[in-house]
Amino acid sequence: MVRTAVIPVGGEAVRLRPLTVETSKAMVRFLNRPLIELSIFHLAQQGIEEFYFGVRGYYNYCDIYDYFREGNWFSAKYGRKVRIRYIPRVETRGNAEAVLVALEYYDISEPVLVIQGDNVFKLDVQDMYNFHRSKKAFITIALKEEAGDLSEFGVAAVDENMRILKFVEKPKRREEAPSNLVNTGLYLLSEDFRGFFKGEIGQKLYSEGRLDFGGDVIPASIESGLPVYGYLAKGYWFDIGSPQRYLKAVYYLLRHLTPYELEAEEIAPAVYAQGTSEQSMALKAKISDDIKTGAIKAEGPVLIGRHVQIGAATYIRNSVIDNYVVVGESCVVEDSVIMDRSYISRGAVVRRSIVGRHAYIGEGAVVEDSVIADNVTIGEGAVLRGVRVWPHKTVERGVKLEGFSVV
């Protein structure tokens, strides 16, 4: 049984900007909670009790630690006892070193599961562990078939027993990819993983600072003859590496997570609302009544957070509305995510977009195919198409922007 997970979180998540300009990628709001919370919840349900964050950088550490602390409130909220700990400030040179520091510092000598801070997934941990043990593997990598672009993934070639024969990190051309089996960043490490870095190959990688799993450790392990295996994961997996992938994952999970997993109850067909306090329940009841009477129109799936207010004649479809959001009258919100405490003014239109925390969308504004970061103000009547707006910026009233970044 696996009881321990390590989560390396480093880097600046450039592809997910502007959502990650001032926020750790692991803590970007996703289905009305931090992204990594969904993964910890999923693993805690399967008996994993110890979580170690291999954090690097100011925002990564502060955002994660200030929210999770040692995990006490998480245990109380979900009824699953967990303990969350962190590595000291070490300038790690890759995700493998972040894991190694956690293992060394806390003297962990047992199989551990490594997950990534910017993934959401459904993984049968026990089944993967049984496979790992049956193969006597050094590393087992959860693999998924990928039909699209392979240039942003590690790609593995396996034999009939799923032993990995070749591993190519981010092939530039499809013909360089040895298969369509991509690395999910979910690894089961054997209890002697630490010992690898005391051997000749591991010491060489360490001295050269080549300490990334996909780029360095996995290829070197395969080349040295260590048993590295691929486990074909059966559940969903999403790499939330860009706004487009973020929205793709949201659309899928809205349709496939249970109300329990969404922390919500169904108040209308495929419309789910969160909150259990007296005031939150009253607001949920009002939204439910307004949908039934046609005062507002909601076409599911829709997830509505706590203390949300929605004005009359508003249309919401296939979207997530986070906590404390106000949506005014006669608005349209389609295929979008509105993060917590944002304000969508009367007559505004938001389509296929992500609106960050504490943002303000002015009356009659149009936001399409755009990403609006935290604490942004979009002026009355502004039109944004294919635009990214950095935190704390203001787009003046009546401005029309297309394919532009406001930095």
pLDDT at 243 over 90: yes
Which residues share a beta bridge with 338? 321, 355
pLDDT of 348 reads 98
Which residues have C-beta within 8 Å of that of residue 167, sequence separation ≥ 6? 154, 155, 156, 157, 178, 183, 214, 218, 219, 222, 228
In this structure, the number of other CB atoms found within 10 A of the CB of residue 261 comes to 15
pLDDT of 199 reads 87
- Asked if 41 contacts 85 with a C-beta cutoff of 8 angstroms, the reply is no
| Element containing residue 404 per DSSP (H, E) | none
Residue of 173 and 101 predicted with greater confidence:
101
What percentage of the chain carries pLDDT values higher than 90? Answer: 81
- Asked if 246 contacts 25 with a C-beta cutoff of 8 angstroms, the reply is no
- In tens, the pLDDT along 309-319 reads 999 999 999 99
> Which of 167, 172, 174, 123 shows the shortest CA–CA distance to 146?
174
Which residues have C-beta within 8 Å of that of residue 123, sequence separation ≥ 6? 42, 142, 186, 233, 235, 237
Is 66 in a helix, a strand, or coil?
helix
The CATH number that domain 4-242 falls under is 3.90.550.10
Which ranges in 257-342 belong to alpha helices (H)?
Answer: 259-262, 278-293
- In tens, the pLDDT along 334-363 reads 999 999 999 999 999 999 999 999 999 999
Q: State how beta strands 265-268 and 271-273 pair.
A: antiparallel
pLDDT of 183 reads 92
DSSP string, 160-215: TT-BEEEEEES-SSGGG-S-SEEEEEEEEE-TTHHHHTTSHHHHHHHHHT---III
**Which string of b and e fits 212-246 if b means at least 16 CB within 10 Å?**
bbbbbbbbbbbeeebbbbbbebeeebbbbbbbebb
pLDDT of 209 reads 87
Amino acid at site 309: Q
What's the CA gap between 236 and 37, in Å, rounded?
17
In this structure, the number of other CB atoms found within 10 A of the CB of residue 129 comes to 18
Lowest mean pLDDT among 25-29, 70-74, 119-123, 201-205: 201-205
DSSP symbol at 396: P
Q: Domain ranges in the chain? A: 4-242, 258-406
pLDDT at 45 over 80: yes
pLDDT of 150 reads 80
**Is CATH 3.40.50.9100 what the domain over 258-406 is classified as, yes or no?**
no
Q: How many CA atoms lie within 13 A of 117 on its CB side?
A: 31
pLDDT of 169 reads 85
Which residues have C-beta within 8 Å of that of residue 203, sequence separation ≥ 6? 197
Give me the chain's average pLDDT, please.
94
- Asked if 72 contacts 105 with a C-beta cutoff of 8 angstroms, the reply is no
pLDDT at 151 over 90: no
Identical fold between 4-242 and 258-406: no
What's the CA gap between 107 and 102, in Å, rounded?
8
**Cα dihedral across residues 83, 132, 238, 263: positive or negative:** negative
- In tens, the pLDDT along 157-204 reads 889 999 999 898 888 777 777 788 999 999 999 999 988 888 888 888
> Which of 220, 252, 213 shows the shortest CA–CA distance to 115?
213
- Report residue 10's pLDDT band, with 50, 70 and 90 as the boundaries: confident
